[in-house]
Amino acid sequence: MMGLTLNVMHMGMLSALVILTLGSIGSFKNSKLGFYGTIIALVIAFSAITITVSAAHFLSYGIFILAIAIINLVSLEAIKSEIKGVDYGLVGLMALATMYIFNTSEFALVLAALVLVSVPTYILVMIREGGANVEVGIKYITFMVLATVLFLIGAIMLVYTKSAFDGSLYVLGYVMLVLGLCLEVGVAPLHEWVPDVFSSADPIPISIIASLAKIVPFIAALWILVYTSSDLTLSITLFTAVIAAISMFVGNIGALTSKELGRVLGYSTVANMGYILSCFVVVAEPKFIYLALTGGLLMLFANAAGKIGFFNAIKGGGAYSPLMYLLAFSFIGVPPLMGFWGKLFILLSLAKMEYFWLVAIVVINSAISIPYYVRLATELGVEWKPNLTNFICLAAVVMVLVTVFLLPVEWFYSTMEVIAQTVGIAI
Amino acid sequence: MIIDDWLVFLLLFLAPVLSSIPIALVYKSDKWTEKLPYLSVFGIFISVLMSLYIFTSFPENQQYAYTWIPDLGINFVLITDYLSCYMGVITAVIAFFIAIYGLDYMKGDYRPSWYWFFFNLFTASMLLVVYSDNLFLLFVGWEGLGAASWGLIGHWFRDDDEIAYVGVPKRKVGPLELSWPPSFGGWRAISTIRFGDVPMFLAIAAIWVLAGNLNISEINWETLFLNIGAAGTIILLVCFLMGLFTKSAQVPFSEWLMTAMTGPTTVSALLHSATMVAAGAFVFIKISWYIKPWELHHVPGLEIVYIIALFIGLISGLYGALAGSGMLERKVLLAASTMSSIGLMFAVGAASFWIHEEIAGINLALLVAFWYMAVHAFAKASLFLVSGHLIHATHSRFSCGGFEFGKRMKIPFIVTIIATTFLVGIPPLTAYWVKSAMDKSMEILWHEHHMLLPIILLILTSLIYSAIMARFLSLNFVRGEKPEHEHLEGGGLMKLGYTMMVSVLFILLYLIFTNAETKGFVDAGYASVSFAVGAGALIAYVIAVYVPRLKVFSRVPGTFFNDRMYLPFLNDYIMPKTGFFISRIVQNYGNRGIDGFFNTRVIPGLFGIISKGIRAIQTGYLKSYVKIVLGLVMVFLIVESLWGLGL
């Protein structure tokens, strides 16, 4: 029976991959083929996973991923790249890996998912209308390679200590993994590439890098850290807490004092990644992981929706003003928008771990961030026009508004509880 | 019981408020605002019925509790003790009579909606104060009184009619103009009251923290006071009393009451008899009723509190009477006399500390204070209503009207004679018996506790008080100047209002002779000292009727008294100047120091430095980024490795 269920999921994933590939090849003839092929592949993978694992568990996570991926795909319409069609396939590949990562208990597959999400962005970042943005690409890839290497070596060292424990090796592995993660997603003080790349690359691919690409690294890192946690974990989490705090301040102050909108969003990413990294302090206490997962993921989704909306607005020369304000308020953390719930659960997980100083820093930083988000909304807000930009922003706003009804939050929350338990059982 | 007790209370409190909401909503329609006052009066009538029903059918000393915020001891706790049963009826009946009078008096006013809404809110708030056992609930009613008094005193907020002013326009003494328009009157009232309400609120909070209970009848006052010691007791009770003294306009917080006369006369009547100023004295009697200070002589500090209350009351009594002796404005003269009366209520209420004598299980001093409040309420309300009618009839707020005028205004003339003689303690009229018991209380203080001053102050006050009441009668109906305008027609409902009001004094006289607990009053009335004081009051009364004004005294001390011994300077000059001084210090040093230094220098400075640092990193060159990142990674790894090795 077990073998059969695995097969359904794997069959689904495999056929999704095949359709992706065929769609990408077909797109040389007609770019529409790539788009529809990707959509079909994602739906097949989503259904296959939903059928295989207990439906409700995956559904709440999967739907958000699917939504983000589809919005990303649609937003690619706004740009005429040289690899039109293939770019859909790349985004589809990232989405498949992001969907898959919660449904495996294989260490190797977790690392594979990370690489699968990371590598397509190397190509995406260079997309530009007419030619390739090589300078940005080199800047980005240099750090991504370093990040992936650090992450993988750190992960392997940690897993090694699982079977033959060595304190100093554990600490080294932990630090390497976290530094790899920081470089990958852009946490200060290893964030140098972020403002430059975010401001000089095309907004559309950046909106993908800032949304879909951020999810897997966090889940992978959390997965590995929980999986390998030891007696030393409780004391080493201070390291992530300090880095997270630095990242919040650097991000928010940087954003507050930057003029260029892309740069502001880059620093905003640095700050947001700081918030999410801060909930890593729970890895020592498996019973609170569901709080961190809920907070971290809701924050990642809120960040994704906001970044997609703002970057598309930059590309389209502004979007409908109320939509921009709603996204800004979500970032600030105004209840009952999604950003509020993300921050709330992050704060709850910090409070449970008695990291009260970090709670204070998160709250102070939320306050610091208010002016620049409002400024973004003011500068990007324009009159209503029925165009692609507004459509995409509307979709993003619907996402952050889902949590206006308490039900989705509770649903998500209980799902994360179950997932945390399964992760705990798997360990 | 025919109806549920909670329904009775609900109707009692809500009927006045709900019945005045329609008129508040249709404030733009002249047609409706002419008719709807009848509905508002009907709402108060329901309260009268309910209060009478409670008085006759509810068991005495029963507590009715409905939970609200039990975790904080804040609940709807109502009590039907002796005080609240009587006071509830007094409040509702007086408000009802005044409301009937108001139907006539307020006809053609420019904002009847405002008036009736606040008038009814005023009544409902006082009823809440009267019946509540819970201090927080009482405070809710208390604040309702404050808000409504502000609304009503400043009712004629346009300040466009000189007849609503207090003081002679443009009369300047030093830097101050001793003349106050209605809007300023309202402000003076609310600002003075707030000054006392804040410490009172803190005291209530402290009582909750220290006693764990807010129900006046349930708090173990003895343990509470013993736990906090002498200093604690004094601070706690003085904070509490601050609310009462300001509300009751005792010295030195009396100024607002004098300029409260800028409101419509109906408001003055209600304010002075059964609500507001009476509320302070009432609450004082009520808490003393449950504190039972005469049993707590071993509690350190309590005696000092009662001495403070005693002398503030006596001094206010004398001050009010003296100030009234120099006044010519009808309502302000009455206001000064009210302050004097309320002072006596405080004084004799405070005397309960030293008086053990009980009649029918009730402390003599508290009973006297309460009965004096009742008699005073009806008499003073009648006088205010009469003076309102006189202001309409003569178009002047200054006393005027000779005997000819009096003969043409028979009913007001007679009502004034009854109200004044029944109030000042002329034997054998109503107040005489109550005043006799008051004399007796102060005599006990003198004989048993060697305090001579209280009885001297009391007798002095009583004599002057009698004289100023007679003066009011004389200046308006007997020996006053001929009025410039006379407008004597109409006013049927006004006459009905004050006639009904004054007739209650006869009922009270009857009650004094028939009630068991007031038997002591009658006994005291036969004592020689009491009789002597009564005779003195009569003589003072007759003389003052005959000679209401002495030319010799009209400048000094007449003007001095009329200017309320320059107490307005405290209110309008010293306090604001002090406030401005403090605010200037805070502005110049506090704000510039904290805000200026911290918020405009330190934090922005730090932001600037950090942000400069953050931006300095972004050179745009991959080369330098790689250096930074690799360097940082190496540093982290080395540090953590060393830390890891150390493990």
Q: How far is A195 from chain B (nearest CA, A)?
A: 8
What 8-state DSSP symbol labels residue B395? S
Q: How far apart are CA B626 and CA A142, in angstroms?
A: 8
Is the CB of residue B259 less than 8 Å from the CB of residue B166?
yes
Check if B638 contacts A (Cβ < 8 Å): no
pLDDT of residue B1: 46
Q: Give the tens place of pLDDT for each residue, A150-180.
A: 999 999 999 999 888 888 889 999 999 999 9
Cβ neighbours around A378 below 10 Å, total? 12
* Residue numbers in A near B626 (CB within 8 A): 142
DSSP string, B218-283: TS-HHHHHHHHHHHHHHHHHHHHHHHHHHHTT-TTS-HHHHHGGGS-HHHHHHHHHTSTHHHHHHH
Cβ neighbours around A43 below 10 Å, total? 14
Flag whether pLDDT at A426 surpasses 60: no
- Show which of residues 594-613 on chain B sit within 8 Å of chain A, judged by CB atoms: 607, 610-611
Residues of chain B falling short of pLDDT 70: 1-3, 646-647
Residues near B406 by beta carbon (within 8 Å), at least 6 away in sequence = B413, B476, B477, B478
* Residue numbers in A near B643 (CB within 8 A): 171
CB-CB: which of B615, B618, B637 is closest to A176? B637
Q: How far is B361 from chain A (nearest CA, A)?
A: 59
In angstroms, how far is the first alpha carbon of chain B from the final one? Answer: 81
Report which residue type is found at A44.
I
Q: Which of B349, B152, B384, B90 has its CA nearest to residue B244?
A: B349
Q: How far is B272 from chain A (nearest CA, A)?
A: 50
Check if B7 contacts A (Cβ < 8 Å): no
Q: How far apart are CA B137 and CA B135, in angstroms?
A: 5
With CA atoms as reference, the chain A residue closest to B636 would be: A175
Cβ neighbours around B254 below 10 Å, total? 29
* Residue numbers in B near A174 (CB within 8 A): 640
Report which residue type is found at B10.
L
With CA atoms as reference, the chain A residue closest to B638 would be: A172
Q: How far is B645 from chain A (nearest CA, A)?
A: 5
The ipTM estimated for the assembled molecules is 0.86
Q: A–B: how many Cβ contacts below 8 A?
A: 72
CB contact under 8 A, B611 and A253: yes
pLDDT of residue B21: 92
Q: How far apart are CA A120 and CA A354, in angstroms?
A: 39
CB contact under 8 A, B615 and A143: no
CB contact under 8 A, A176 and B641: no
CB contact under 8 A, B647 and A168: yes
With CA atoms as reference, the chain B residue closest to A231 would be: B647
Is the CB of residue A44 less than 8 Å from the CB of residue A19?
yes
Report which residue type is found at A318.
G
Domain ranges of chain A: 2-422
CB-CB: which of B628, B633, B640 is closest to A171? B640
CB-CB: which of B607, B610, B622 is closest to A138? B622
With CA atoms as reference, the chain A residue closest to B610 would be: A253
Q: How far is A232 from chain B (nearest CA, A)?
A: 9
CB-CB: which of B618, B640, B641 is closest to A192? B618
Range of lowest pLDDT (A257-261, A401-405, B322-326): A401-405
Q: Give the tens place of pLDDT for each residue, B563-591.
A: 888 888 888 889 889 999 999 988 888 88
Q: How far apart are CA B159 and CA B153, in angstroms?
A: 12
Cα angle at B621 between A188 and A308, to 5 degrees?
55
CB contact under 8 A, B615 and A168: no
With CA atoms as reference, the chain B residue closest to A233 would be: B644
Is the CB of residue B97 less than 8 Å from the CB of residue B501?
yes
Check if B629 contacts A (Cβ < 8 Å): yes
CB contact under 8 A, A167 and B644: yes
Is the CB of residue A278 less than 8 Å from the CB of residue A240?
yes
Q: How far is A278 from chain B (nearest CA, A)?
A: 18
Check if B625 contacts A (Cβ < 8 Å): yes
Q: Is the backbone peptide bond immediately before B557 cis, with ω within 30 degrees of 0?
A: yes
CB-CB: which of A146, A172, A189 is closest to B641? A172
CB contact under 8 A, B647 and A257: no
CB contact under 8 A, A168 and B620: no
Q: How far apart are CA B372 and CA B437, in angstroms?
A: 10
* Residue numbers in B near A195 (CB within 8 A): 618
**What is the pLDDT averaged over residues A329-345?**
90
Question: 3-class DSSP state for residue B618?
Answer: coil
Kindly give the pairing relationship between strand A319-320 and strand A381-382. parallel
pLDDT of residue A424: 54
Q: Which ranges of A279-355 would DSSP assign to H, the alpha helix? A: 289-315, 321-332, 338-352
Angle between helices A406-426 and A215-227 (to 10 degrees): 40
Binning chain A into helix, strand and coil, the percentages to the nearest 5 are 85, 0, 15
Is the CB of residue A164 less than 8 Å from the CB of residue A145?
no
Flag whether pLDDT at A2 surpasses 50: no
Query: Whats the size of chain A, residue-wise?
Result: 427
* Residue numbers in B near A172 (CB within 8 A): 637, 640-641, 644
Q: How many CA atoms lie within 13 A of B207 on its CB side?
A: 28
Phi/psi of residue B355, each to 5°?
A: -105, 120
Q: Which of A66, B218, B392, A320 has its CA nearest to residue A328?
A: A320
**What is the pLDDT averaged over residues A269-285?**
92
Residues near B479 by beta carbon (within 8 Å), at least 6 away in sequence = B402, B403, B545, B546, B548
* Residue numbers in A near B641 (CB within 8 A): 168, 171-172
CB-CB: which of B611, B618, B643 is closest to A171? B643
Q: How far apart are CA B576 and CA A298, in angstroms?
A: 55
pLDDT of residue A427: 46
- CA distances to A117, B282, B378, B381, B421 from B502, rounded to whole Å, are 93, 21, 6, 8, 11
- CA distances to B4, B14, B102, B119, B372 from B18, rounded to whole Å, are 20, 6, 19, 12, 32
With CA atoms as reference, the chain A residue closest to B608 would be: A257
Q: How far apart are CA B33 and CA A145, in angstroms?
A: 82
CB contact under 8 A, B640 and A175: yes
Angle between helices A203-210 and A107-124 (to 10 degrees): 170
CB contact under 8 A, A190 and B629: yes
Range of lowest pLDDT (A77-91, A325-339, B43-57, B306-320): A77-91
With CA atoms as reference, the chain B residue closest to A191 would be: B629
CB contact under 8 A, A142 and B645: no
Flag whether pLDDT at A44 surpasses 80: yes
Phi/psi of residue B354, each to 5°?
A: -100, -5
Check if B647 contacts A (Cβ < 8 Å): yes
* Residue numbers in A near B642 (CB within 8 A): none
CB contact under 8 A, A171 and B647: yes
Kindly indicate the confidence band of residue A1, based on its pLDDT and cuts at 50, 70 and 90. Answer: very low
Q: What is the dihedral of CA B430, B432, B438, B439, to 10 degrees?
A: -170
Binning chain B into helix, strand and coil, the percentages to the nearest 5 are 75, 5, 20
Residue B67 Ramachandran class (φ > 0 left, ψ -120 to 50 alpha, else beta): beta
Q: How far is A127 from chain B (nearest CA, A)?
A: 19
Q: Which of A280, A282, A279, A257 has its CA nearest to residue A268?
A: A257
Q: How far is B594 from chain A (nearest CA, A)?
A: 19
Long-range contacts, A171-174 (Cβ 8 Å, 24+)? A171/A232, A171/A236, A171/B640, A171/B641, A171/B643, A171/B644, A171/B647, A172/B637, A172/B640, A172/B641, A172/B644, A173/A228, A174/A225, A174/A233, A174/A236, A174/A239, A174/B640
Kindly give the pairing relationship between strand A381-382 and strand B358-359. unpaired
**pTM recorded for the entire structure:** 0.68
Is the CB of residue B306 less than 8 Å from the CB of residue B445?
no
Residues near A396 by beta carbon (within 8 Å), at least 6 away in sequence = A71, A305, A306, A308, A309, A312, A323, A327
Q: Which of B272, B269, B247 has its CA nearest to residue B189?
A: B247
Q: Give the tens place of pLDDT for each residue, B107-154.
A: 888 889 999 999 999 999 999 999 999 999 999 999 999 999 999 999
Most distant CA atoms of chain A, gap in Å: 62
**Mean pLDDT score across all residues of chain A:** 88
Q: How far is B595 from chain A (nearest CA, A)?
A: 18
Query: Residues of A at the B interface (Cβ-Cβ below 8 Å)?
Result: 138-139, 142-143, 146, 150, 167-172, 174-176, 179, 183, 189-190, 192-193, 195-196, 232, 239, 249-250, 253-254, 256-258, 267
* Residue numbers in A near B636 (CB within 8 A): 175, 179
Most distant CA atoms of chain B, gap in Å: 113
* Residue numbers in B near A171 (CB within 8 A): 640-641, 643-644, 647
